[in-house]
Amino acid sequence: MGQFVTRIDAELAAAVDELVEKGVFDSRSDAVRTALAEVVDRERREEIGRQIIEGYKRFPETEEEIEAAHQNAIRMVNEEPW
């Protein structure tokens, strides 16, 4: 398991401690692990989004594909038991 050692300002430390006291996190370490995992996940999702956009730029949808998607959406809405 990796380990990070870092310094944060007193205000941020107090805010994290308050979250621990409220039970949002089990410990400071838990707060840091959770925050880092969320940042890494967000960056991965944004990268996937960028790749999807680049793919559509390289291979744009045809008019036929757009019309088929439109018709399928209409069909799906009409099949809903509103």
Residue spans per domain, the chain: 10-79
Per-residue pLDDT, averaged over 5-27, amounts to: 97
Confidence of residue 13 (pLDDT cuts 50, 70, 90): very high
SS (H, E, C) the chain: CCCCCCCCCHHHHHHHHHHHHCCCCCCHHHHHHHHHHHHHHHHHHHHHHHHHHHHHHHCCCCHHHHHHHHHHHHHHHHHCCC
pLDDT at position 82 is: 81
Identify the CA nearest to 31 among candidates 58, 4, 69. 4
pLDDT at position 61 is: 95
Report the amino acid identity of residue 33: R
φ, ψ dihedrals at 14, nearest 5°: -65, -40
Percent of the chain beyond pLDDT 70?
Answer: 100
Q: What is the mean pLDDT of the chain?
A: 97
Confidence of residue 77 (pLDDT cuts 50, 70, 90): very high
For residue range 44-54, what is the model confidence (pLDDT) as tens digits?
999 999 999 99
